[in-house]
Amino acid sequence: MELNSNIPGGPLQQKWDQHRADLKLVNPANKRKYSVIVVGTGLAGASAAATLAELGYNVSAFTYHDSARRAHSIAAQGGINAAKNYQNDGDSVWRLFYDTVKGGDFRAREANVYRLAQVSTSIIDQCVAQGVPFAREYGGYLSNRSFGGAQVSRTFYARGQTGQQLLIGAYQAMMRQVGLGKVKLYNKQEMMDLIVVDGRARGIVSRDMVTGKIESYMADAVILATGGYGNVFYLSTNAKACNVTATYRAHKRGALFANPCYTQIHPTCIPQSGDYQSKLTLMSESLRNDGRIWVPKAKGDTRSPDQIPESERDYYLERKYPSFGNLSPRDIASRAAKEACDDGRGVGPGGLGVYLDFADAIKRLGQEVIADRYGNLFEMYERITGEDPYKVPMRIYPAVHYTMGGLWVDYDLMSNVPGLFVLGEANFSDHGANRLGASALMQGLADGYFVIPYTLGGYFAKGGFSTVSNDAPEARAAVTEAQNKVSTLLSINGKRSPTSFHRELGSLMWDKCGMARNEKGLTEALKRIPELRDEFWKNLTIPGTGTELNQSLELGLRVADFLEFAELMCTDALHRNESCGGHFREEYQTEDGEAKRNDDEFCYAAAWEYTGVGSKPTLHKEPLVFENVHLATRSYK
């Protein structure tokens, strides 16, 4: 298979303009003759559904939530980047592009990233026009903050709820089209399969989660905007329902899955408090500006922190990285915490936590200043843990919160299956091996508002669509397959719940394919996953039937896919013999613990082709060519 990324020629700055000029158009009167299915109604999905409907296409939008406003985009707190340069501090499209490529550890496509930076400014304009209440200065102009160590202030925000406000903006735009009859919205529907007819994506199989009815829905193109796969770890900062099913099903139908091993770990999350833990909560990294991170020097020290004298504490970040100390980069801070805990020096229940201590800062600055800076975070921490961080040091631990990998797409955001487009976190395109803070929202909306409306039109304009009905043999076969899957799951009648398998898989993945990986661990995981999968299909129990609202069945269906996907992830992680961004292989690091890339051998996107359950996927390489930036070692010194 030849991977064609379809990157337009010409200088980087003109690629998108030239491409838009070259794309064929669909006559306004003809647009209503084309239909498109959008799966997922987060930032990318809702913005795409709204915009495509505004253009005149017939859109069907699917979400497994009870309302389109609940997608996990809503949980993003910090903000959204845009190269507006309102602060007159030297920002530009080029700088945002450069920062993103560098932040992604030179594993993203230049052309895609440049386009993302270009359209970022229009996103802000569009959202303001929709009534998104961005923070303003007293003069009435938009306010910016700096984020993630960027040297410019380019992040727009709406209190600590930027994701929520942007999502609601997109949701409202979509609901307007629902009211106008241009979008047909299917709530509580979970995609179970992709229907490919004559080599083109022409529909989906979806399950009504209230009645259990499984049906096919046909269209001229299918857009997946179904988010990331962080929940393969069971515990992550993702919402509980986030899953890989839609993209993995498309993968099984021929779409290539790219770079699944790129997962991002956030260092400051609230640690697990017990084995009942259901998810993890992220806290702003800004806490590290004033907090000091430490663990006891002795293993298994269970004294309360105030009983541990200064001389018996190990401020390991300050010790190991004297110049950066507690402000060491995310990945380094995360791995150092893991090392301390693996060494038996972790604190709190289960020993999976390190202290983030504000005692010195409070002594130096006074409690008032600290409350002013971090008051709401301290409150949130206290609500969850019951501990007052003004008195007792916080406990933190790293957690998975974003996945850079996803379905492979070309410059038009179309996968290798013609007619299957993939947007937002679900695709692999813009963040390389690591995503910068406040860039996830930007990418979701860029894809939905400003990229897909053009590229989908270009695809439709090429024509050649045969009429395909729900009676097509491919559609009927896919429906039957989905029905069989449900009845198989329900008839196992074993002993273990879907959650118990998910938990076990998650902890395995976290150990072997989490923030630090090595050949031995990955090999073990690749041996263990198929065993666990076998047990799943023999020993699963799901009470209830398939013709009612059955949340255990929903979980079972998702866990089944995670159990296959996890193998793909480990395979990718094992093959990539280098460390880059969110993929850290212990064998490949510099002396001071930094990721050591291997540009000679791995400067490519790894796109995997499905070859069967348990069978090794086929690797396709898309070489990454850097014509405009120079490959350099990320340095934080």
Partner 1 sequence: MNLRLHIWRQAGPDATGMLKTYDVANVSEHMSFLEMLDVLNEDLISKGEIPVAFDHDCREGICGTCGMVINGRPHGPVAKTTVCQLHMRTFKDGDEIYIEPWRARAFPVMRDLVVDRGSLDRIIQKGGFVSVNTGNAQDGNTIPISKLDADRAMDAAACIGCGACVAACPNASAMLFTAAKVGHLASLPQGQAERSTRALHMVLQMDAEGFGACTNHLECEAACPKGISVEFIAQMNRDYLASAIGGRD
* List 37, 124, 475, 525, residue binding partner 1 (CB under 8 A): 124
- Quick one: 110 or 447, whose CB is closer to partner 1? 447
Length of the chain in terms of residues written: 637
Nearer to partner 1, 48 or 261 (CB): 48
Cα 35 to the center of its chain, rounded Å: 27
Residues 21-50 that bind partner 1 (CB under 8 A): 47, 50
State which residue, 244 or 336, has the beta carbon closest to partner 1.
244
User: How many alpha carbons fall within 13 Å on the CB side of residue 121?
Assistant: 13
Residues 184-223 touching partner 1, rule: CB under 8 A, are 185, 187, 210
The answer to whether the CB of 196 falls within 8 A of the CB of 416 is no
Cβ neighbours of 509 (radius 10 Å): 25
Measured distance CA(402)–CA(194) in Å, rounded: 24
| Segment holding 144, helix H or strand E | strand 144-145
Closer CB to partner 1, 134 or 294, in the complex = 134
What minimum distance in Å lies between the beta carbon of 48 and partner 1?
10
CB nearer partner 1, residue 84 or residue 251: 84
Residue 584 three-state SS: coil
Closest separation between CB of residue 424 and partner 1, Å?
16
Residue with tokens 């073990």: 524
Position of tokens 């307007």? 176
Specify the DSSP element, H or E, that contains 475.
Answer: helix 473-491
DSSP 382: H
Task: Kindly tell me which residue out of 32, 159, 213, 621 binds partner 1, with binding defined by CB under 8 A.
Answer: 159
Name beta bridge partners: 263: 403
Residue type for position 210: V
Binding-site size for partner 1 (CB under 8 A) equals 81
Decide: 569 and 513 in contact? Cβ < 8 Å.
yes
Sole binder of partner 1 in the list 111, 150, 168, 214 (CB under 8 A):
168
Residues 6 or more apart in contact with residue 369 via CB below 8 angstroms: none
Residue closer to partner 1 by CB (options 197, 532) is 532
Cα–Cα distance for residue pair 494/544, rounded to 1 Å: 13
Q: How far is the CB of 504 from partner 1 (least distance, A)?
A: 13
Site for partner 1 (CB under 8 A): which residue of 20, 184, 252, 279? 279
- 122-142 burial: b if 16+ Cβ within 10 Å, else e: ebbebbeebebebeeeeeeeb
Least CB distance from residue 78 to partner 1, whole Å? 13
Please, which of residues 503-562 interact with partner 1 by CB under 8 A?
541, 543-544, 548-549, 551-552
Question: To 10 degrees, what angle do helices 110-130 and 93-103 make?
Answer: 120
State which of positions 60-79 bind partner 1 (CB under 8 A).
65-72, 74-75
The pairing of strands 80-81 and 155-156 is: antiparallel
Question: Least distance (Å) from partner 1 to the CB of residue 55?
Answer: 8
CB of 248 to partner 1, least distance (A): 20
Burial class (CB in 10 A: 0-12, 13-18, 19+), 501: buried
Part of the chain binding partner 1 (CB under 8 A), chosen from 21-29, 418-426, 460-468, 496-504: 496-504
Q: Which residue has the tokens 């080599």?
A: 199
Query: Which parts of 397-456 interact with partner 1 (CB under 8 A)?
Result: 449-450, 453
Q: Is 330 a catalytic residue?
A: yes
Residue 129 engages partner 1 in binding (rule: CB under 8 A) = yes
Question: Which of residues 134 and 610 has its CB atom nearest to partner 1 in the complex?
Answer: 134
Question: Under the criterion CB under 8 A, does residue 161 sit at the interface with partner 1?
Answer: yes
Give min distance, CB of 559 to partner 1, in A: 13
Side-chain-side CA neighbours of residue 140 (13 Å): 0
Nearest in space to 620 (alpha carbons), one of 405, 408, 406, 434:
408
Range in contact with partner 1 (rule: CB under 8 A) among 12-20, 298-306, 493-501, 600-608:
493-501
- Compute the least distance from the CB of residue 304 to partner 1, in Å: 16
Tokens 């990294």 sit on residue: 285
User: Measuring CA to CA, which residue among 370, 637, 313, 229 is closest to residue 305?
Assistant: 313
Among the listed residues 330, 395, 517, 597, the single catalytic one is 330
Q: Does 173 bind partner 1 (CB under 8 A)?
A: yes
CA distance 392 to 359: 8
- For position 128 contacting partner 1 by CB under 8 A, the verdict is yes
Q: In the set 90, 141, 310, 491, which binds partner 1 (CB under 8 A)? A: 141
Strands 406-407 and 257-258: antiparallel
178 in contact with partner 1 (CB under 8 A): yes
Residues 329-388 that bind partner 1 (CB under 8 A): 349, 383-386
Pick one of 35, 51, 236, 416: the residue that binds partner 1 (CB under 8 A). 51
CB count in 10 Å sphere of residue 118? 21
Q: Tell me the window of 59-67, 307-315, 421-429, 595-603 that interacts with partner 1 (CB under 8 A).
A: 59-67
The residue (of 158 and 225) whose beta carbon lies closer to partner 1 is 158
Rounded-to-integer distance, Cα 586 and Cα 132, Å: 44
Give the amino acid at 214: I
CA dist 78 and 162 (Å) reads 6
Residue placing its CB nearer to partner 1 in the complex, 499 or 628:
499
Give least dist CB 106 to partner 1, A: 31
Q: Which of 136, 391, 462, 616 binds partner 1 (CB under 8 A)?
A: 136
**For residues 78 and 163, which CB has a smaller minimum distance to partner 1 in the complex?**
163
With binding defined as CB under 8 A, does residue 499 bind partner 1? yes
Instruction: Using the minimum distance from each CB to partner 1, give the nearer residue, 278 or 611.
Output: 278
Q: Give the whole-angstrom CA distance, residue 362 versus residue 394.
A: 13
**Per CB under 8 A, which of residues 281..300 are in contact with partner 1?**
281
Q: Among positive and negative, which fits the CA dihedral 479, 482, 486, 488?
A: positive
- Window 233-262: residues binding partner 1 (CB under 8 A): 239-241
Could you tell me which residues come within 8 angstroms of residue 487 by beta carbon, excluding any fewer than 6 positions away?
Answer: 546
- Residue 122 sits in the site that holds partner 1 (CB under 8 A): yes
Least separation in angstroms between residue 382's CB and partner 1 is 10
Shortest separation between residue 321's beta carbon and partner 1, angstroms: 31
Q: Which residues are catalytic?
A: 330
